[in-house]
Amino acid sequence: MRDRSLSAALLALSLGYFALGTASLAVVGLSNPIGRDLQVRPATVGTLVTVFALVFALAAPAATIVLGRMCRKRALLLGLGLLVAGGVAAAAAPDYPTLCAARVLAGLGAAVFGPAASAAGSAIVPAERRARALATVFAGMTAASVLGVPLASSAGDALGWRGTMLSVAALTAVAFVLVAGFLPAVEPEPAPTVRAFGETLRARGALPMVGTTFMVMTAQFTVYGVAGAYLADRFGAAQGTVALVLFGFGALGTLGNVLGSRLYARLGGSGTVGVALGCFAAGFAALTGIPGSLPLALPPLAAWAFASGLFMAPQQARLVELLPERRGILLALNASGLYLGMSLGSLAGSALLPGLGARPLSALALLPLALAAAAHLASARRTPHVRAVSESPVPVHH
């Protein structure tokens, strides 16, 4: 593939990830309008993140097995189509249970699209460009927190939460068209089996890597899954201020994503992930200790935001380098760990915020973060020299 065509394909996948990320996280900034309309507490709306994430976590490995023989491009389009259907159903939901059911449908679409997008992005480039390609694809998820979540929060006032959900579905439809137009047909890997998943997870270093992702996302979403209610409770932030803070959070996350590939080239995947974990710890510890002043919260929020963008692309690259011939399985397992962590963290935040208040949440987030650090150290010891820069890419049909 020519570089221009390659860039267009990667950007189309990135837009698909942006649509996925916005669909999964838009409710974070819409908790108040959804709560008022459907007569549930704003903290309860955080369970919509849990529903989406839990479906993703459970369905991603199954989708990889069931659709393993399908051309990756067709699988990606199927996933985006289900995301569109789930978004339209959410916009029309008459009550909270129906809205939860729509989130199940969208979560199924995300489970099909997410792992396939990362695998396709890593497959259409030479091995030495894999980390940058994965950063480009996953930048869509980071950008969802830059633009998707805060814009959804702002659009909730202008369009209502239903209009916002419909707009996200329309954006996903645009991603569908672009992926259909720009991505070449990518040969699937041999169809995986349940046994192959077990063998892959038992490979040296695989389980600690996936465990690191799971614990990092649990730590983050203990707070971020209820971000609107957290910022209002902890720092007295109004709805407009919440949107601005989330916009700044996402912008710094994008910076972390951009710098991640450069740090990866200097420090390697293990070192770059270690830097991200240190930034997470500093941010959560500071958020726990400061008084309820929003200006004082901005530096620790910035450290956390930077780490959120820095972490994922190097972590995915480490997984691909670990077992290149089973990248699809590993990325599906990592995606399950990611969304299972989102589910558990969001559920914990939604359950604990009403009773404990906002301040203890960041302290509680340090517990899974400590487990993430332990898992990362274990993976670094078991895979000290994993670099597959000479490996040829998976064949691509032009």
- Judge residue 238's burial from the number of C-beta atoms within 10 Å of its C-beta, 0-12 exposed, 13-18 middle, 19 or more buried: exposed
Task: State the alpha helices, DSSP H only, in the chain.
Answer: 3-25, 31-38, 42-45, 47-66, 72-91, 96-123, 130-143, 149-158, 160-182, 194-202, 206-224, 227-235, 239-289, 294-322, 327-356, 359-382
Q: Which of 100-104, 144-148, 353-357 has the highest mean pLDDT?
A: 100-104
Provide mean pLDDT across the span 215-229.
90
Is residue 165's pLDDT more than 80?
A: yes
pLDDT at 390: 32
Amino acid at residue number 251: A
Q: What is the pLDDT of residue 360?
A: 93
- List, for residues 11-48, the tens digit of each pLDDT value: 999 999 999 988 988 887 787 788 888 988 876 787 88
pLDDT band at 3 (very low <50, low <70, confident <90, very high): low
- For residue 35, the model assigns a pLDDT of 84
Q: How far is the CA of 94 from the CAs of 36, 48, 89, in angstroms?
A: 13, 15, 10
Mean pLDDT value across residues 376-398: 53
Helices 359-382 and 327-356: angle between axes, nearest 10 degrees: 160
Helix (H, G, I), strand (E, B) or coil at 379: helix
Q: What is the pLDDT of residue 63?
A: 86
More confident residue, 74 or 71: 74
Residue with the bigger pLDDT between 8 and 392: it is 8
Write down the pTM of the prediction: 0.74
The confidence score (pLDDT) of residue 387 equals 44
- Per-residue pLDDT for 334 more than 80? yes
